[in-house]
């Protein structure tokens, strides 16, 4: 994988157009220096002005990326496809290499702006400039509007660059999958459509409404989407930029399933798992989005948003609403895994014996793919939660935090300890999901029935709020923040967190070992 990434980057790195692009950007930065000095800007404001110049971004950086993308996606050597296991692996390497290059180019821009900013304005990072009564007034106005959302220009600059990288990668994936789905002629048409789409959105005001999701300039120009339509527009664009490529990836893999790339022996299972992951990703986004809605319309701040997502339920003070919200995180992937296993059971004899020769190797491959699905689901949850919490921290720090403060007061902890334990709970939730996955697999191996496995796995959570569960060695719901705090209040933070980790890790190890033993029981048999 590493060598393939490196090969893609080296092949794309030899582009003289990057040098010309950086020279043009340096010229733009130079023209901004007199304006910034006249407006009494800090170095941070100067960087923000240079990196948010929408004329350069649209007519310079965007056009460069569009023609680089057009060249990149058509630069495909059929012989090189032999290096890849399957089309999913090939798509991941190509998209990963493109993402790295986009980040590198944006980082080069940041470096140039930072060097010129420090040389001319010193080490300063605060909003202190003032508007000029000249031609540049309208250009400078949006710089000062960032003060409503960020504490410093560097924070705003970081957000601008990250949003720009997400947007350019989104556009790259659109064109890449259009090329893989429809071929060379259609990708030329899509290039023209995207260019027209961006220029219409940039030069007109038709995107100052819900229609902003249609115009791609709003996916890489943060201030256009944020100032014209608000933070909800930014969040919606990011979700679309994440989900749409996943759907296109799924469609492209299906279309290319019959085309050999190299080793591709288990693409059937991988394709099926990717489809389940896409559904699960949409579901977990809806769950977190509901808490985001509560935060915004209830005027809560980032602490309450984080609390709503990780609080779980309390066994000593049980509420069904909290309990159902907590188990929904686990029910979705376990249900998807049950659907996966049902299809796997139907194809086990014909496919496993033909490709693998024994059920032992088949089971090992199935469990490996499903564990990968569970890990991806957990990483998605933690990553999305961290991203939205960070966004809430920057954009909505003035809201109330009565839910989190009441929780902190009840358990006698500090705000920093609350943050540490909340993030710990989010990570432990992924470990607990792995435990449930192993339980589901174990029951399925014994019973051979996915419905029985799903219901019996869920039965453990139905008992989680009862007195019986509180007396077990491993009570389900260990990743709920309430239950972590109850353990911490008895044992102390360090010892309590260690107890939770050891309990999860110990049970997970036992279940994995038991499942491995069951592989050998059916080795070579044809069910």
Check whether residue 209 and residue 116 sit in a common domain.
yes
pLDDT digits (tens, 9 = 90+) for 223-263: 888 887 777 778 888 888 888 887 777 776 666 654 544 44
The pTM is what? Answer: 0.53
Rg of the chain on CA atoms, in Å: 26
**Residue 100: inside a domain:** yes
Q: Are 404 and 303 in contact (CB under 8 A)?
A: yes
**Residue 506: inside a domain:** yes
**How far is the C-alpha of 229 from the C-alpha of 252, rounded, in Å?**
33
pLDDT digits (tens, 9 = 90+) for 169-192: 889 888 888 887 777 767 777 888
The H-assigned helical ranges of 396-492 are 402-411, 415-447, 450-462, 467-470, 481-491
pLDDT band of 523, cuts 50, 70, 90? very low
Nearest Cα to Cα of residue 147 among 235, 54, 41, 76: 41
Check whether residue 364 and residue 260 sit in a common domain.
no
User: Which pLDDT does position 470 carry in this prediction?
Assistant: 45
**Residue 293: inside a domain:** no
Q: Which residues of 38-76 are buried (b: 16+ CB within 10 A; e: fewer)?
A: ebebbbbbbbbbbbbbbebbbebbbebbbebbbebbeee
**Residue 322: inside a domain:** no
Check whether residue 390 and residue 508 sit in a common domain.
yes
Phi/psi at 15 (5° precision): -125, 110
Range of the domain at 486: 338-521
Q: Which residues contact 366 (CB under 8 A, 6 or more apart)?
A: 269, 341, 344
Q: Which residues contact 200 (CB under 8 A, 6 or more apart)?
A: 206, 215
Q: At what angle do helices 481-491 and 402-411 cross, to 10 degrees?
A: 30
User: Which of 264, 280, 302 marks a domain boundary?
Assistant: 264
Check whether residue 97 and residue 189 sit in a common domain.
yes
The percent of residues in the chain predicted with pLDDT above 70, rounded, is: 71
User: Which pLDDT does position 315 carry in this prediction?
Assistant: 64
Higher pLDDT pick, 265 / 328: 328
**How far is the C-alpha of 229 from the C-alpha of 218, rounded, in Å?**
10
Nearest Cα to Cα of residue 63 among 158, 189, 194, 163: 194
User: Which of 232, 248, 264 marks a domain boundary?
Assistant: 264
At 225, list the tokens: 């989407």
Check whether residue 357 and residue 222 sit in a common domain.
no
**Residue 311: inside a domain:** no
Check whether residue 252 and residue 363 sit in a common domain.
no
pLDDT digits (tens, 9 = 90+) for 277-329: 667 777 777 777 777 777 776 777 778 888 888 887 766 666 777 777 777 77
Domains held by the chain: number: 2
User: Which of 264, 280, 299 marks a domain boundary?
Assistant: 264
Q: Are 43 and 145 in contact (CB under 8 A)?
A: no
Nearest Cα to Cα of residue 421 among 434, 433, 432, 407: 407
Mean pLDDT of the chain: 74
At 508, list the tokens: 């997970």
**Residue 313: inside a domain:** no
**Residue 301: inside a domain:** no
Helices and strands counted in the chain (H then E):
22, 0
Q: Which residues contact 469 (CB under 8 A, 6 or more apart)?
A: 315, 463, 475, 476, 477
User: Which pLDDT does position 268 carry in this prediction?
Assistant: 55
Q: Are 287 and 329 in contact (CB under 8 A)?
A: yes
Average pLDDT of the residues in 109-136 = 76
pLDDT digits (tens, 9 = 90+) for 381-438: 888 888 777 777 766 656 667 777 877 877 777 878 888 888 888 888 888 888 888 8
Listing DSSP states for 195-245 in one string gives: HHHHHHHHHSSTTSSGGGGG-GGGGT-HHHHHHHH-HHHHHHHHHHHHHHH
Q: Are 305 and 392 in contact (CB under 8 A)?
A: yes
Q: pLDDT at residue 220 above 50?
A: yes
User: Which pLDDT does position 267 carry in this prediction?
Assistant: 53
**Residue 199: inside a domain:** yes
């Amino acid at each position: 994988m590493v060598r393939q990434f490196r090969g893609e980057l080296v092949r794309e790195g030899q582009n003289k157009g990057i040098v010309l692009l950086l020279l043009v950007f340096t010229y733009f930065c130079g023209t901004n220096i007199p304006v910034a000095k006249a407006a009494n800007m800090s170095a941070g404001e100067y960087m923000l002005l240079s990196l948010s110049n929408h004329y350069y971004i649209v007519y310079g950086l965007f056009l460069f990326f569009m023609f680089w993308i057009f060249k990149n996606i058509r630069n495909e050597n059929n012989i090189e496809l032999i290096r890849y296991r399957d089309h999913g692996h090939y798509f991941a390497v190509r998209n990963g290499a493109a993402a790295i290059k986009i980040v590198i180019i944006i980082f080069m821009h940041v470096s140039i702006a930072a060097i010129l900013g420090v040389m001319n304005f010193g080490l300063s990072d605060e909003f202190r400039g003032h508007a000029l009564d000249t031609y540049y007034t309208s250009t400078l106005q949006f710089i000062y509007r960032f003060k409503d959302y960020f504490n410093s220009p560097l924070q705003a600059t970081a957000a601008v660059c990250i949003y720009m990288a997400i947007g350019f990668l989104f556009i790259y994936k659109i064109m890449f999958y259009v090329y893989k789905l429809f071929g060379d002629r259609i990708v030329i048409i899509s290039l023209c459509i995207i260019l027209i789409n961006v220029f219409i959105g940039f030069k007109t005001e038709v995107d100052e409404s819900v229609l902003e999701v249609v115009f791609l300039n709003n996916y890489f120009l943060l201030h256009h989407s944020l100032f014209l339509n608000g933070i909800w527009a930014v969040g919606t664009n990011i979700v679309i930029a994440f989900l749409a490529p996943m759907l296109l990836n799924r469609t492209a893999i299906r279309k290319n399933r019959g085309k050999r790339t190299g080793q591709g022996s288990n693409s059937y299972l991988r394709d099926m798992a990717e489809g389940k992951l896409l559904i699960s990703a949409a579901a977990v986004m809806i769950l977190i989005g509901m808490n985001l809605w509560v935060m915004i319309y209830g005027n809560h701040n980032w602490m309450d948003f984080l609390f709503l997502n990780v609080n779980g339920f309390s066994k000593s003070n049980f509420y069904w609403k909290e309990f159902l919200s907590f188990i929904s995180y686990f029910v979705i992937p376990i249900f998807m895994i049950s659907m996966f296993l049902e299809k796997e059971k139907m194809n086990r004899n014909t496919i496993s014996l033909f490709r693998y020769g024994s059920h032992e190797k088949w089971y090992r491959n199935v469990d490996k793919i499903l564990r990968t699905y569970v890990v991806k689901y957990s990483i998605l949850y933690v990553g999305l939660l961290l991203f939205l919490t960070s966004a809430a921290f920057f954009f909505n720090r003035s809201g109330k935090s009565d839910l989190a403060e009441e929780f902190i007061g009840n358990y006698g902890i500090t705000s920093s300890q609350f943050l540490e334990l909340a993030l710990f709970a989010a990570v432990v939730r992924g470990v607990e999901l792995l435990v449930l996955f192993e339980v589901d697999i174990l029951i399925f191996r014994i019973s051979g029935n996915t419905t029985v496995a799903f219901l019996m796995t869920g039965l453990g959570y139905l008992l989680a709020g009862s007195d019986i569960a509180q007396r077990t060695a491993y009570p389900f719901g260990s990743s709920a923040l309430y239950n972590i705090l109850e353990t911490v209040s008895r044992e102390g933070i360090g010892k309590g967190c260690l107890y939770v980790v050891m309990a999860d890790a110990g049970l997970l190890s036992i279940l994995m070992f038991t499942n491995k033993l069951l592989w050998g029981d059916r080795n070579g048999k044809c069910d």
